[in-house]
Amino acid sequence: MFKSLFGKLMSTYIAIILITLLVLGMAMSYLLGDYYYSAKEAELLNKGREVARIIAENTEQNRPAADVVDTLNRFWENRMVMISKDILVLMARGEFYNNTRRFWLEPADAQILLEGKTVSRRGYLPRPEQLVIFVAVPVEVNNEVAGAVFLSAPLADVTDAVGAVRRLMFLAALPALLLAALLGLYLSRSIARPLRRLSDAAVQIAGGDYRQRIELKSADEFGYLAQNFNRMAMSLEETVGALAREKEKIENILANMAEGVVAVDGSNRVILLNRQAIRTLGLGESADLTVQLYGEPVPDSQLKELFAAVLASGETCSREYTPDDGHSYLLVHVSPLIDQAGNNFGAVGVLQDITELKKLDQLRRDFVANVSHELRTPLTSVQGYVEAMLDRAIPSEDRDKYLTIIHRETLRLNKLIYDLLDLSLIESRKEKWDLNEIDVPELVDQVLVKLRPLIENHQVTIERDFPDQLPPMLGNEDRIEQVLLNLLDNAVKFSPPGGIIMLRAKVENDNITVSVADQGPGIPPEDLEHIWERFHRVEKSRSRALGGTGLGLAIVRQIVEAHGGTVNVQSEVGKGTTFSFTIQALPAETQG
């Protein structure tokens, strides 16, 4: 019964009447009891003050107070007890114990009476067993408290009055409930019948039968509801069709987006996941994953936490993080899904793979930091020596030595700037190189001539191993010469005195590979993968002492790759290093 609308309306009407009568009865009982208590309290206080005045007057005339109280008790219905000042003092100290419980006073009450104030309260006296109201009025003789008068009166009549009121309210509730039931029966049926017809038609429409109509000609709200229901049924088929078409469009857009899209419901479970999101999160390439993950928790733990935070706060959040696979870097923008009522029913996240952007940004930051560091060291030296010379802090006989240092640091700066500009130009691919035949042995001879002073100074020996029929190399001679200069310069500088540097060339698959092997200290394995990066040095202090900028190998790599070739390095600590590059040989039919 209570599950139907009829039962709910009936029970609601009856509950309202019951609650109203209950509240009214309680309020009237409380007000009546409070009124009677106040009147009784005022009456007892007036009597107490009158008795206190009579006792005070008789005390001044040397008449015992006890006799006066006994006399008054014969004529007044209220029981009176005289309390002496000594007893009040003991009570205030908590040292007085009343075995008979003739009066109900606490130490705080006794202190109030000693201060000349009255005390009133309701309490329960064990003798007789009843609820009473009592007052205590101080007796003042010659403006001093000489004792107190204790008066009490039963409150049984208040309880009887409250009980009578409750019985009256109960008797009045019976016809009210009967009337409410009859009225509720009529109203409930007039409301429930059209609603039941609407409900049945709605069930049919939900099943796909859009021909349902409600014939209800009443002019009240239910008549308007029936008309609107019929209009809804007429337009619902068209609306559902339009929604289906829009859904198909959205699904096609999501499926072909470059960004991943993930949507969850209020319980943080997947309700939408496009193919790009599956690839971005490293879950695989299977299209079946979209169906398998529907209704499941978000597969990535960090993304799941981000969705949970947005669902809890209802605010948009963006974050960069590395997913659980650890191989990429994602930028995620998650926004709450809010319905027209302003309720948050889920969240949607857009995933963008920014791994390459992060790498480029890190390279840019590292490059700026390295350039700044490399420029600061020589500039600091030049500035220091120049300031010392300007301040006359350097003797005249030592000036040439310091000028030599300044000149060397200036050359180092110039070389660094030249290398930076050259590397930037190569990377931009804006420079157009003329490719021609390069005789590798002849080019090596030219390079060795330029490096002869450096070779003699470091006391190293250059040996060559070139095949007799080595074909020409296809490339830009100036740039390939720059490659050989950088590789040989490093080999000479890092070789020990008396060391041997081996230059080799070989032909494989129409490609020429040129290698430079030294007998230097070698490169640790952890540095090999970074050796081609800008400003990377294995031994930083020694590299600077030898005048290196840390850009030579980066330039070598860019030049070789611009020719369509590759670079390689092999090294063993303590036994030396071999750098090599491979570039296409000139086709035989085009050789001059």
In the block, tokens 């209800």 appear at 216
Strand, coil or helix: 117: coil
Q: What are phi and psi of 378, to 5 degrees?
A: -70, -35
Residues 221 and 127 in one domain: no
Residues 375 and 493 in one domain: no
Residue 187 maps to a domain? no
Residue 73 maps to a domain? yes
| 414: CB partners within 8 A, 6+ apart | none
Mean pLDDT of the chain: 77
Residues 106 and 31 in one domain: yes
Number of domains into which the chain is organized = 5
Tell me the DSSP string of 174-209: HHHHHHHHHHHHHHHHHHHHHHHHHHHHHHHHHTT-
CA–CA gap between residue 441 and residue 209 (Å, rounded): 90
Which tops the pLDDT comparison, 92 or 571? 571
Instruction: Report pLDDT for 523.
Output: 86
Strand, coil or helix: 9: helix
* CATH number of the CATH domain containing 413: 1.10.287.130
Q: Which of 121, 140, 161 is the last residue of a domain?
A: 161
Instruction: Report pLDDT for 166.
Output: 66
Residues 101 and 41 in one domain: yes
When pLDDT is cut at 50, 70 and 90, the band that residue 513 belongs to is: very high
Q: Which of 121, 142, 161 is the last residue of a domain?
A: 161
Q: Which of 161, 179, 205 is the last residue of a domain?
A: 161
CA–CA gap between residue 520 and residue 535 (Å, rounded): 20
Element (H, E) at 13: helix 5-60
Residues 369 and 326 in one domain: no
Q: pLDDT digits over 369-423, tens only?
A: 666 666 676 777 777 778 777 777 777 777 777 788 777 777 777 776 766 676 6
Q: pLDDT digits over 531-548, tens only?
A: 877 666 655 444 444 445
Bond from prior residue into 194 cis (ω within 30 degrees of 0):
no
CA–CA gap between residue 14 and residue 32 (Å, rounded): 27
Beta strands 500-508; 461-465: pairing state: parallel
Residue 33 maps to a domain? yes
Residues 84 and 49 in one domain: yes
Residue 537 maps to a domain? yes
| Domain enclosing residue 246, as ranges | 215-253
Q: pLDDT digits over 471-487, tens only?
A: 888 888 888 888 898 89
Residue 262 maps to a domain? yes
- 344 and 314 Cβ atoms separated by less than 8 Å: yes
* CATH number of the CATH domain containing 43: 3.30.450.20
Residues 348 and 363 in one domain: no
Residue 81 identity:
V
DSSP secondary structure code for residue 349 in this structure? E
Residues 383 and 456 in one domain: no
* CATH number of the CATH domain containing 576: 3.30.565.10
Residue 177 maps to a domain? no
Report, in angstroms and rounded to the nearest whole number, the Rg of the chain calculated over CA atoms: 53
CA–CA gap between residue 421 and residue 411 (Å, rounded): 15
CA–CA gap between residue 389 and residue 376 (Å, rounded): 20
Residues 388 and 452 in one domain: no
Which tops the pLDDT comparison, 299 or 375? 299
Residues 242 and 259 in one domain: no
Residues 483 and 523 in one domain: yes
Tell me the DSSP string of 127-160: TTTEEEEEEEEEEEETTEEEEEEEEEEE-HHHHH
CA–CA gap between residue 179 and residue 185 (Å, rounded): 10
Residues 219 and 260 in one domain: no
Q: What are phi and psi of 154, to 5 degrees?
A: -70, 155
Q: CA 564: distance to chain centroid? A: 49
Which tops the pLDDT comparison, 424 or 554? 554
Residue 179 maps to a domain? no
Residue 592 maps to a domain? no
Q: pLDDT digits over 334-383, tens only?
A: 888 888 787 888 888 888 888 777 776 666 676 666 666 666 767 777 77
